[in-house]
Structure 1
Amino acid sequence: MDVVIIGNARCFHTMDWYREVAGIIKPRKVIFLTDLIESESHEKLVKESDIIADLYNIDWLLLKNQSNFGNIWRNIIKLLIIPVQIWKVRRFQEKNPHVIFHAITIYYMFLCWLAGIKFIGTPQGSEILERPDFSKWYKYFAIKSLHAASYITVDSVSMQKKIKEISGEDAAVIQNGIDVAEITDTDSGVTVRNKIISIRGMYPLYRLEEIIKSRNNSNDKPPISFFYPYWDDVYVGYMKSIFSERDLDIGRLAKKDMYTLMKSSYLAISIPLSDSSPRSVYEAIFCGCCVAVTPNLFIDSLPDCMKSRLYIVDLQDLNWFEKAVVKAKVITSIPYIPSEEALNVFDQARSMKLVCDLYYDPQKWN
């Protein structure tokens, strides 16, 4: 049985999942069924070698750049074309009756539920940890989608617990993983780590202004390089207004360029209001950085070798940034060598092999 990934082809995580699985289950095919490929200033990730199927592409209907209004507009468009996409999913299933469907994010799980097909579901962090608390309608449809899934996978214990709490359903914790092979192959070209980086999205959720505020309270006030895969135009404008002259607004980076920057940095900062299982934090650790983070449940499940690269900050302490800088210089004086436990959990080649063994076994779907 072939596998069909239903998701957003603009998402780095989903595309990595798709390609890793495609390499593992050969000669079986992995088909990517999507409605989003290149829009809202997102980099086009789809390659000619990818097997892409159309879920009624809506790129042409979306705005040029990313913003809060753009997010609202995209959700309106998706609501309007749901009947068409339900028909598309059903037609695809009728033409390909012997496939395994895997929906990544609640929206695509919702589509599969409405289409009446069997599927594996993988929601993402805020879809479970935040949104059900702010919208009763969203919570209702999220629960329906969770109930409809034959299997549910998540990347953190916090998501697993919240799914059990709101729906009663069991979810398996399997890390999405990171590209350890490419990290290993990437040469930073430098021998001294001399940069501080912010590694999350340019949204209020990630509290980037708190980073600037504490940095400005430090003695040396070192520059910070901000790179981010997603952003809100209004928030970007606000952040630029409080940057120092030496701060760098890098924007989005290709994966290899991101790893190069991480390997030349001694401190990476990630202090969002909430978190599930932050891939960029794991990537920074494997690139040898010290990562400043706020207390979070995901930390408890990390192998010791990864915990040792973290500096837990107290945002109530006005000097947390300066203390993180001092700690990072000590931590990065020692090269990071991942343990076998860390590789088993976070190397996407190994974690996706586990997914394939557990959920893409044709015997489970006959």
Structure 2
Amino acid sequence: MRICFLHKPNDPYILSRARYFVDRGHQVYSIYFESKKLGAHKSIGWCETRSLGKSSTFYSKYLNRFLYPKKIKKFTRDHEIDILHINGMLNSFYLPFSRAKKQVIENQGSDVLRAPDLYPVIKPLYRFFYRFVDAVIQDSKVAQKKGLLLGAPYELNEIIEIGVDFRHFNPDFHRGKARDNLGLSNEAKMVFSSRGMEDLYNLDIVLRAIPIVIESVMEVKFVFACNVSGFMEKYGRLIHELGIKKHLIFTGQIDHTETMPFYCRDADVVISVPSSDSSPASVYEAMACKTPVIISDLPWYQGKFDRDGDMIVVPVRNVDKLADAIIQVLSGRKKVDVDSAYENIIKNINFEIENKKLGQLYKKILQ
């Protein structure tokens, strides 16, 4: 098959999908939104690529988007693309211009769970552009239900997870590499967060929990997978008010496959407490490393995992409950069944199985 992804160039999960199909002999193409950082994108064996936009000027960022349809039309026609896989419903504007044989939309959690409520004007637009898709995928029932309400077709509408790549995320490799990089002893407790800095992810709540945690667990570091400059610009005043700077470590951008697994493995607990979520791959990756996780109480995990068995669940934006959960896990007073969580991930959220399902869907709509 000739498969073309329209995507952000550094989305590690789309890149992993692309690599899967390249490794199986398919001709894989990329239409991507230009970025200054293309490291991981360059590692894929693309047949051909096309960038959309080359700078951050007002013209290229906004007005130039009206030129993108012409590029997409030409690229998909010239390369006789079988499947155009568009990542994110917010990019559905380009669907009518594709000359691929079939179009697939991958609903992103925020695209369907948050954006339509924040910007109601896009609801009728979603309903219109869903008319141009041949299949829809998403990573959870929560996202699927919301997509259907917004006009997604009922037929050829499937839940296909990103899946955990166990070649990278697993409990078998040696502990200590991330701690060595951070200068942390084995005795120090490590709380790790790899989620973004958007308000959605409630990092202010995580920061406010730290003074409570350090009253009970003195030797603890909270490690954030983000750049210190951006973090301090947004949360610097709060950090100063709380007096917690010495308990924070910022790693900068972490390579998803080469480095992130070591941080998941070395952490004593991984926290992910957003206000909205669909099916968080970062949580599953921590589980695959047999590391305890603390999550916020959202619908996505229900029916998949045992509450307070496979993970610890806390109310959304509740500082005291989050702090108590972290203390309980770090002190050993509350145990997470990491073996059960690991087995669940292998059976139900497996990279190989999920992408095999995606390949079967591609073939089905081409028949």
TM-score (normalizing by structure 2): 0.83
- Residue in 1 aligned with 2:87? 104
- Residue in 1 aligned with 2:351? 348
- Residue in 2 aligned with 1:226? 224
Compared CA separation, residues 48 and 348, structure 1 to 2 (3 A): closer
Mapped to 1, the partners of 2:287 and 2:227 lie a distance apart of: 18
Spell out, residue by residue over 1:185-243, the C-alpha distance to the aligned partner (whole angstroms, 9 max, x if none): 64323787831112211222211111121221232353311114999564254565454
CA contact (8 A) 1:13 1:176 kept: yes
1:210 aligns with 2:205: yes
Cα displacement (A) at 1:353: 0.9
- Residue in 2 aligned with 1:251? 252
Mapped to 1, the partners of 2:237 and 2:50 lie a distance apart of: 36
Q: Secondary structure at the match of 2:83?
A: strand
- Residue in 1 aligned with 2:302? 300
Cα displacement (A) at 1:127: 0.7
Code of the aligned partner of 2:311: L
What percentage of aligned pairs have identical amino acids?
17
Q: Secondary structure at the match of 1:273?
A: coil
CA contact (8 A) 1:202 1:230 kept: no
Code of the aligned partner of 1:50: G
Spell out, residue by residue over 1:70-91, the C-alpha distance to the aligned partner (whole angstroms, 9 max, x if none): xxx6xx7454223322111221
Compared CA separation, residues 322 and 103, structure 1 to 2 (3 A): same
Spell out, residue by residue over 1:145-201, the C-alpha distance to the aligned partner (whole angstroms, 9 max, x if none): 222210000011111111111215333111111221112364323787831112211
CA contact (8 A) 2:226 2:250 kept: no
Indicate which of 57, 73, 85 corresponds to 1:90.
73
Code of the aligned partner of 2:55: L
Output aligned runs, 1:1-366, within 5 Å.
1-24=1-24, 26=25, 28-36=26-34, 38-39=35-36, 42=37, 44-51=39-46, 53-58=48-53, 60-62=54-56, 77-97=60-80, 99-115=82-98, 117=100, 118-167=102-151, 169-170=153-154, 171-184=157-170, 186-189=173-176, 194-218=189-213, 219-220=215-216, 222-228=220-226, 234-235=233-234, 237-238=236-237, 241=240, 242=242, 243-255=244-256, 256-304=258-306, 308-314=309-315, 315-316=317-318, 318-327=320-329, 329=332, 336=339, 341-357=344-360, 359-361=361-363, 364-366=365-367
Mapped to 2, the partners of 1:164 and 1:10 lie a distance apart of: 28
Compared CA separation, residues 215 and 339, structure 1 to 2 (3 A): closer
Cα displacement (A) at 1:330: 5.2
Spell out, residue by residue over 1:52-75, the C-alpha distance to the aligned partner (whole angstroms, 9 max, x if none): 6444432x3127xxxxxxxxx6xx
Cα displacement (A) at 1:17: 1.4
Spell out, residue by residue over 1:118-140, the C-alpha distance to the aligned partner (whole angstroms, 9 max, x if none): 30110211111011112233223
Compared CA separation, residues 85 and 53, structure 1 to 2 (3 A): farther
Larger mean Cα displacement after TM superposition, 147-156 or 327-336: 327-336
Mapped to 1, the partners of 2:137 and 2:229 lie a distance apart of: 27
Code of the aligned partner of 1:365: L
TM-score (normalizing by structure 1): 0.83
- Residue in 2 aligned with 1:67? none
- Residue in 1 aligned with 2:180? none
Mapped to 2, the partners of 1:124 and 1:230 lie a distance apart of: 27
Structure 1, unmatched stretches of 5+, are 64-72
Mapped to 2, the partners of 1:287 and 1:197 lie a distance apart of: 13
Cα displacement (A) at 1:116: 6.1
Code of the aligned partner of 1:216: P
Larger mean Cα displacement after TM superposition, 306-315 or 251-260: 306-315
Compared CA separation, residues 33 and 53, structure 1 to 2 (3 A): farther
Q: Secondary structure at the match of 1:61?
A: coil
Q: Secondary structure at the match of 1:89?
A: helix
Alignment RMSD (CA, Å): 3.0
Compared CA separation, residues 253 and 335, structure 1 to 2 (3 A): same
Mapped to 2, the partners of 1:229 and 1:169 lie a distance apart of: 40
Structure 2, unmatched stretches of 5+, are 178-185
Compared CA separation, residues 163 and 230, structure 1 to 2 (3 A): farther
Mapped to 2, the partners of 1:310 and 1:119 lie a distance apart of: 37
- Residue in 1 aligned with 2:181? none
CA contact (8 A) 1:267 1:289 kept: yes
